[in-house]
Amino acid sequence: LNRIKASGLKLRFCTNETQATREKFVKKLQGMGFDISVAEVTAPAPAACRILKERSLRPHLLVHDDLVPEFAEIDKANPNCVVIGDAAENFTYANMNEAFRVLIGMEKPVLISLGRGRYYKETDGLKLDVGAYMKALEYACDVQAEVVGKPAEMFFQSALAEMGVPPQQAIMIGDDIENDVGGAQRCGMRALQVRTGKYR
């Protein structure tokens, strides 16, 4: 990463991280020795906030407690949509059922997902990701979720726009064949899969 930065190439860190704010995410990476700033991170929560404001949507949040501060400026009274992220331990039956009730009570339910990953890898092994829970709500409410994070084309376009780079001049590097590689390729970018993390 230091060599890429020194070369003058433009760089964005595209993450589906939805268990922490960008600030906390960046602090963690800085603690590992990475030279990274919040401005270099493209993440789903800020993108979702833009959509919520543009469409005057008031979300019922089913997200990780540490991500809630990203939605501080969003009106959440009398929800007219559901925003789902990787809520980890907050994916209880009660919380899933509450989100279901909000959606099923709407004439035209709106479900916004901060990703659709199936699983991810942590130090103690693989863990279910938001996509599995998103699919449960889609099925129960007969609704199609609007995916804001990877592999959504809009997500990659947002990162490209921030850099001012056309897709054919960019390459996405990641360990996820669907969300990183597939999503980038569908957006017109080249992609490279690294053999670390969950590449298997």
156-177 as b/e, with b when 16 or more CB fall inside 10 Å? Answer: bebbbeeeeeebeebebebbbe
Choosing among 3.40.50.300, 1.50.10.10, 3.40.50.1000, 3.40.50.2300, the CATH entry for 44-147 is 3.40.50.1000
Q: Which residues pair with 124 in a beta bridge?
A: none
Examine residue 151 and say whether the peptide bond preceding it is cis (omega within 30 degrees of 0).
yes
What mean pLDDT value characterizes the chain?
93
Q: What are the extents of the domains in the chain?
A: 44-147
The tens digit of pLDDT for each residue in 97-106 reads 999 999 999 9
Are 134 and 103 in contact by the 8 Å Cβ rule? The answer is no
Residue 169's pLDDT is 97
Q: How many CB atoms sit inside 10 A of residue 7's CB?
A: 8
pLDDT tops 80 at residue 119: yes
Read off the pLDDT of each residue in 24-38 and give the average, rounded to a whole number: 94
Residue 189's pLDDT is 97
Residue 6 is encoded by which pair of tokens? 């020194």
Residue 198's pLDDT is 73
Read off the pLDDT of each residue in 112-118 and give the average, rounded to a whole number: 92
Are 150 and 183 in contact by the 8 Å Cβ rule? The answer is yes
Angle, nearest 10°, between helix axes 153-163 and 44-54? 100
Half-sphere exposure of 86 (CA within 13 A, CB side): 19
Share of the chain above pLDDT 90, in %: 80
- The radius of gyration of the chain's CA atoms, rounded to the nearest angstrom, is 17
Read off the pLDDT of each residue in 46-61 and give the average, rounded to a whole number: 94
Residue 93's pLDDT is 98
Residue 90's pLDDT is 96
Residue 28's pLDDT is 93
- As a whole number of angstroms, the distance between CA 83 and CA 62 comes to 6
3-class DSSP assignment, residue 95: helix
Residue 121's pLDDT is 83
pTM: 0.83
Residue 160's pLDDT is 93
